[in-house]
Structure 1
Amino acid sequence: MSSLSSRFDKILVVDDSPDNVFLIKTILEEEGYTISTAENGVSALTQLETSPCDLVLLDLMMPGMDGYEVTRRIREDMKLQAYIPILLITAHDAPNVAQGLDLGADDFIRKPVTVDELLARVRSLLRLKRSIDERDEIARQREDFVSRLTHDLRTPLVAADRMLMLFQQGALGNLSPQMAEVITIMARSNLNLLSMVNTLLEVYRFEAGRKTLAFQPVDLSQLLEELVGELTPLAQDKKLSLKLELSEDATNTIVMGDRLELHRLFTNLIGNAIKFTESGSVAIRLTSVLWSSKISASEFTASASIKDYVTIEIADTGTGISPEEQANLFERFRQGSHKSSGSGLGLYLSRRIVDAHHGSILVSSELNKGSVFMVNLPIKQ
């Protein structure tokens, strides 16, 4: 037996030749592997749906569904929880196996197979699988840790926020001016930390596939008017002008979306514009136009059946973003060079929200002249 782990490895052999199947099965069973067989591609796919294995040995040239198509379906169509390596088996005079490798196969072996080469390639691919499985398990454990950590952090932060609010309201006695200033700083810092934890939790939910959006008709002009009202005090503190500009065709524009997530998206984008602008203004512009007239299909990920979209632009007169930073702006943990840059998760989360709404988000910026963030969302037909 080649290794103690081989007794736990399940291998599926797919070949339309009973002689080939018998030979490969005999070799592998002598090494302690558990072998199942399939005489064609359809049978192989059916078995994988009900009982996934650790490795597939796949004959390339079979009648009906050949090895190319089986490989493609395993990699593209089947929603397998774990990665399954594919070893192609081909005759010496068969066509080049490059197509199979391009479709997602991991290795190949030519007929007639030799015992040593077959076992070496099987062991190599099983090591690959164990390595990938271990990596995925570490990723799952990390995500679970982040989820538990953010939940555990959120509880005391919320409690601290309530207590600091009581202090500020004088519910626990009058505060001296010095004490009031300290409490204000503490409350602001606590809110920033709570916001960071909430953002991290939302990012985790998207990445773990645990985010469920409640789509409903959303009046964007109404939503943006609410946000301007909520964020105007923040702009006034910095003596900035915050204005909403609605084009005539954008009044009462309806999109299908999750209102809470769209609120989070535009709060983040408008809040960033205010945060990174020291003087001047922040403008929110809402326009509704024919999608093909302004951006290309590659820039807009909505369904081809959707002909119209709405564009929301958030323009500021801030410090701007360098071309180098723009290239990776929407990746996670990509912090800008500005002194007020945060965790690097806000714009990444914004992109995930836009993607979930089948839209696109772009940025245009010039140093010392400001930035424009443009969100394109499909209009409800």
Structure 2
Amino acid sequence: MSSQSARSDKILVVDDSPDNVFLIKTILEEEGYTISTAENGISALTQLQASPCDLVLLDLMMPGMDGYEVTRRIRGDIKMQQQYIPILLITAHDAPNVAHGLDLGADDFIRKPVTVDELLARVRSLLRLKHSIDERDEIARQREDFVSRLTHDLRTPLVAADRMLMLFGQGALGTLSPQMQEVITIMARSNLNLLTMVNTLLEVYRFEAGRKTLAFQPVHLAKLLEEVAGELAPLAQAKALSMNLDFSKESTTTTVMGDRLELHRLFTNLVGNAIKFTESGSVTIRLTAVFLSSKIRNPELSLPSTISDYITIEVADTGPGILPEEQAILFERFRQGSHKSSGSGLGLYLSRRIVEAHHGTIIVNSELGKGSIFIVSLPIKQ
């Protein structure tokens, strides 16, 4: 490690023994590292929350909050998770096994009394790991920022082309022959498909970059689903598919807390997919409210207190079904199905992100030759 690199690395030494702290601090400062110290776990966490470091040397056995608990809190802190911080456990030869500390998220350990060569070797190793991870994360951030900017910039010419093609199709620039009208229709459809793909990609990167802000408000799902079904009905009619709505009595008056625009995007995608992949038969939207909170008050039932009311939305089709191996990866990013009409592999991934942002779940049940059912569960507004 170069002296320049060493001087840029900040190390926090956490130990309740002043002698151990002095020894380790002296060894590391001679190598050019910037050292800060803490005499207990609480002080260490306070320092890390105020100013993250590049490496933590953590005594495992300390009074009060031991190294196990400090490790658990570091790995569980959302703010600290934004930047990877390696943890090197320091333990006495007669101390309990350090496996538990490694399971909690520590990266390595060293036993007392420490030797200079071993200490420096482990410190260099963990700092190399951190620098590698930081570099990888920075490249990933730059790539995502580039794609996000590119996607955003692509929307402008696509929207302009969409408007121009619409004017052509309406005859605003002169009467078109049937052949020209057909060409314009094909161009408009292709442009719209590309614009939809770009919009989906932009939404995906907004979620992944943490730049997506949801406006939660009470949403009447029955009305929302009726709206989605009405908007997509022409697509179903063009394929002679029947569109069915099956709402339970309780669900017609039930609301959830959510972002209406994002929920509309979610169900438009699910219902649109059902129509897209179904050549004959029907697409059915079922809405069912499940009230469990009242059962919790029944002393004869031993249900966990965490159970709450929820509502399920099922989008069922009579399409070809999905292979079991494809079902396992269906909601992952850029995972395309084997169907000839499969798209970019982003729609269901975005759907999953929207559902998770609403504290819900989404699953699929499918059998080849018998269709598919996508099931979304959302908590009911309390």
C-alpha change, 1:286 and 1:103, in structure 2 (3 Å) is same
TM-score (ref. length: structure 1): 0.95
Deviation at 1:342, TM superposition (A): 0.1
TM-aligned CA distance change 1:304 to 1:316, over 3 Å:
farther
Give the C-alpha shift of residue 304 in structure 1. 6.0
Show the counterpart of 1:26: 26
Structure 1: 5+ residue stretches without partners: 294-302
May I ask how many residue pairs the two structures share in their alignment?
372
Q: Work out whether residues 55 and 84 of structure 1, in 8 Å CA contact, stay in contact via their aligned partners in 2.
A: yes
Amino acid corresponding to residue 262 of structure 1 in structure 2: L
How far apart are the structure 1 equivalents of 2:184 and 2:83? 51
Secondary structure of 1:118 counterpart: helix
CA distance in 1, matches of 2:65, 2:192: 59
Paired letter, 2:4: L
In structure 2, relative to structure 1, the CA distance for the partners of 1:322 and 1:217 (3 Å cut) is same
Residue 48 of structure 1 aligns with an amino acid whose one-letter code is L
- Deviations for 1:85-106, whole angstroms, at most 9, x for unmatched residues? 1111111111111111111111
CA distance in 2, matches of 1:348, 1:291: 29
Q: Deviations over 1:241-296 (max 9, x none)?
A: 11212222222221111100110011000000000011111111111123599xxx
Mapped to 1, the partners of 2:28 and 2:74 lie a distance apart of 23
The reply to whether residue 264 of structure 1 matches residue 261 of structure 2 is no
Residue 296 of structure 1 corresponds to: none
Shift of the alpha carbon at 1:78? 5.2
Task: Tell me the CA shift for residue 112 of structure 1.
Answer: 0.8
Deviation at 1:3, TM superposition (A): 3.8
Q: For the residues of structure 2 that align with 1:281 and 1:23, how far apart are their CA atoms?
A: 75
* Match status 1:228 vs 2:224: no
SS of the residue 2:345 aligns to: coil
4+ residue runs of structure 1 moved beyond 4 angstroms? Answer: 303-306
Quote the RMSD (CA, aligned, Å). 1.6
Q: Which moved more, 1:91-100 or 1:163-172?
A: 91-100
Per-residue deviation, residues 307-353 of structure 1 (Å, max 9, x unmatched): 22111111111111111111111111110111000001111111111
**Partner of residue 39, structure 2:** 39
Q: Please name the residue that 1:299 is paired with.
A: none
Report sequence identity in percent.
85
Deviation of the 1:305 alpha carbon: 4.7
Tell me, in whole angstroms, the C-alpha distance in 1 between the residues paired with 2:278 and 2:127: 55
Which residue does 2:203 correspond to in 1?
Answer: 202
Matched, 1:65 2:65: yes
AA aligned to 2:325 is: E
| 2:148 equivalent in structure 1 | 147
Deviation of the 1:4 alpha carbon: 2.9
Amino acid at match of 2:207: F
Q: Is the 8 A contact 2:314 2:373 kept in 1?
A: yes
Retained in 2: the 8 A contact 1:319–1:368?
yes
Task: Provide the secondary structure at the position in 2 that maps to 1:146.
Answer: helix
User: How many Å separate the matches in 1 of 2:344 and 2:78?
Assistant: 36
Q: Distance in 1 between matches of 2:78 and 2:61?
A: 21
Is residue 306–residue 378 contact of structure 1 (8 Å, CA) maintained in 2? Answer: no
Q: What corresponds to 2:163 in structure 1?
A: 162
Counterpart in the other structure of 2:216: 215
Distance in 2, matches of 1:155 and 1:261, equals 22
Give runs of aligned pairs for residues 307-346 of structure 1, distance below 5 A.
307-346=308-347
Where structure 2 has 5 or more consecutive residues not aligned to the other structure, the ranges are 295-303
Asked if 2 retains the 8 angstrom alpha-carbon contact of 1:222 and 1:252, the reply is no
Identify the residue that residue 15 of structure 2 maps to in structure 1: 15
TM-score (norm 2): 0.94
**For the residues of structure 2 that align with 1:306 and 1:251, how far apart are their CA atoms?**
22
Q: Give the 3 Å change call, closer, same or farther, for CA 78–327 of structure 1 in structure 2.
A: closer
**Are the aligned partners of 2:276 and 2:341 in contact in 1 as well (CA < 8 Å)?**
yes
> 1:58 is aligned with what amino acid?
L
